Amino acid sequence: MTTSWSMSTGIAMAAMTCTAAMACTAAMAQPAAMPACPGASMRMVVPAAPGGTTDLVGRLVANHLARRAGKSVVVENKAGGGGTIGASGVAHARPDGCTVLMGNVGSNAINYALNKKLNYGPQYFAPVTQVFAVPNVLVVNPGVAAQDVKSLIRLAREKPGTLALANSGVGQSTHMTAELFRMETGIDVITVPYKGNAPAVADLLAGQVQMMFDNAAVSLPHIQAGKLRALAVTSAKRVEGLPGVPTMAEAGMEGFDVVAWFGLFYPARTPAAHVAWLQSEVAEILKQADVRRQIAEWSGEPGGEPAAAFQRYVDQEVRQWQKVVDTAGITLP
């Protein structure tokens, strides 16, 4: 701008600037639209088998998101490698807002410390928001002669190398929780990894394995039906769905506090507008009474925080699990 402009020119330019500012403000106030995707559908990758907690959460969000956007959200299950196969695919996908990962503490925190052969790292993702967090629960087949944690430990010590301890995949929270349990108790049990919660629980119900740290969301109906016996939850306080089940601390293992969390991740370099849109949509979904009721039935706590807050939480989890892996000397088989 120069001082040689006339007053009328200045007034005209000021009016144009004001109009532009108002237009920008109005545009910012409008909710961003769903990314324009090939085939008019988003792709949500679930790095676990159908029927597990990650799958249940992913489908819950996908169904509501599709309803709100008026476009389809296709859920793709890519199990294996403790969640690394599905996570890797999203890490290397086009950052166009059309591919999102329903990640979890295993695929997006634990495995960075545990798996030295990963072809992705934290920098490959743009965290969007946490969806929910849930404790694990120590469950046994009813045929196991243990009514509480102390008697289970005693049984394992009396019969070393005979009890089979299942987990939903190497690097998943169920695996790491089990490793912490083994480390702190010194028991000798057989570790049996599966490609997801559902197949692990199926074998537990059938008596092929005897015990498991499972997400409360998956085991709860089996516990309520008497098909599995719950000995303790891994959170710092008891959960609403299992009020009669003690915490691990109450069962004699002071300081044992682990939760499994699940959240959405875009590939890194996904436009900020797409991240903001998805975070906003999911936050609104998590406010709905029916969604909150479902999450409560899974003994979980809803998320929905801004992307920056979720990023800080993920960074903290990465550091924490690196410390656990280093301290325990846990390595991949």
Residue 286, domain member (yes or no):
yes
Domain extent for 205: 135-233
**Residues 120 and 143 occupy one common structural domain:** no
Give mean pLDDT, residues 56-76.
94
Give mean pLDDT, residues 237-256.
92
> How high is the pLDDT of residue 333?
62
Give mean pLDDT, residues 185-205.
91
Checking if the pLDDT of 190 tops 90, the result is: yes
Distance CA 141, CA 206 (A): 8
pLDDT band at 324 (very low <50, low <70, confident <90, very high): confident
Residue 83, domain member (yes or no):
yes
**Residues 200 and 274 occupy one common structural domain:** no
**Residues 49 and 115 occupy one common structural domain:** yes
Distance CA 23, CA 146 (A): 68
Checking if the pLDDT of 8 tops 60, the result is: no
> How high is the pLDDT of residue 31?
47
Residue 305, domain member (yes or no):
yes
- CATH number assigned to the domain comprising residue 303: 3.40.190.150
Give mean pLDDT, residues 123-133.
97
Distance CA 308, CA 130 (A): 11
**Residues 142 and 157 occupy one common structural domain:** yes
pLDDT band at 32 (very low <50, low <70, confident <90, very high): low
Among 215, 233, 251, give the residue marking a domain's end. 233
Q: Whose structure tokens read 């109005």?
A: 26
Domain count, the chain: 2
Cα–Cα separations (whole angstroms), residue 35 to 100, 117, 184, 268, 308: 12, 33, 48, 16, 21
Pick the more confident residue, 240 or 134: 134
**Residues 128 and 266 occupy one common structural domain:** yes
**Residues 290 and 222 occupy one common structural domain:** no
Residue 3, domain member (yes or no):
no
**Residues 103 and 177 occupy one common structural domain:** no
In the chain, alpha helices (H): 7-29, 53-69, 84-91, 111-114, 149-158, 173-185, 197-206, 216-224, 272-285, 289-297, 307-328
Burial of 41 (0-12, 13-18, 19+ CB in 10 A): middle
Residue 195, domain member (yes or no):
yes
In DSSP terms, 211 is beta-bridged to: 140, 165
- CATH number assigned to the domain comprising residue 139: 3.40.190.10
pLDDT band at 209 (very low <50, low <70, confident <90, very high): very high
The pTM (predicted TM-score) of the whole model is 0.77
**Residues 142 and 107 occupy one common structural domain:** no
Residue 50, domain member (yes or no):
yes
**Residues 144 and 225 occupy one common structural domain:** yes
**Residues 156 and 216 occupy one common structural domain:** yes
Distance CA 3, CA 248 (A): 75
> How high is the pLDDT of residue 6?
33
**Residues 142 and 290 occupy one common structural domain:** no
